[in-house]
Structure 1
Amino acid sequence: MNFILDTNVLISAALFKGSLADKSFDKVRELGTLITSDPVYLELKEVINVSRCRDPKDDMFLELALSGEAKAIISSDPDLLALNPFENILIIPPQEFLEQF
């Protein structure tokens, strides 16, 4: 059987051992063949080389939120706030956090 994994699943599988994406990658290899194409490879290459945030130093907070399955990132940083929500994770200023939680 042939399977296709989207770029976001491939990246998550590479970054987060034991994640659902990682388990899906392993299952594809167990059951059949991962198929890809030049455009998929080029997208993967492009995504890997691009920071998620306008300020690359803030990427560590995004990665931590994903790996820690955070509900929210509380920040006053406009670069982070511009991403709200990020993969179903709220990015909100302290005042909004206090009001919502």
Structure 2
Amino acid sequence: MKRVVLDTSVIVSALLKPDGKSRRVFKIVLENHKPLLSIDQLAELEIVLQKSKFEKFITLQDRFEILALLLDKGELVNVISNTSICRDESDNKFLNLAVDGKADIIITRDPDLLILADEFSIRIANPEQFLTDLQS
């Protein structure tokens, strides 16, 4: 069982594209691995999920049921690290969560995180790379 950080872009993509790779990754992580969560990550996700632009894709109730499912399946990590290596300062929360949660991998579509893949101590991959890893 891997300890996994799913960034907001992957979770939102999973909600909006039922047949997409992010949805497959989301389901695999919830069923077979341990999603790691932080207060900062959940706060960002709550704000994003409340945006009215998503109403045509998924109801507000369904969006918050996904949040409840994440809370049920995930592990809430007390984040104390304060890494600041990401060029987008707001993405450091995922790196800090990964460090303090002893994550095996961060799964993201965010180029500001993906660019760190070769220099960060924890694997950073997009959903396609994660799915390929599972097959090997």
TM-score, with normalisation over the residues of structure 2? Answer: 0.37
Q: Whose RCO is larger (CA < 8 A, sep 6+)? A: 2
TM-score, with normalisation over the residues of structure 1? Answer: 0.48
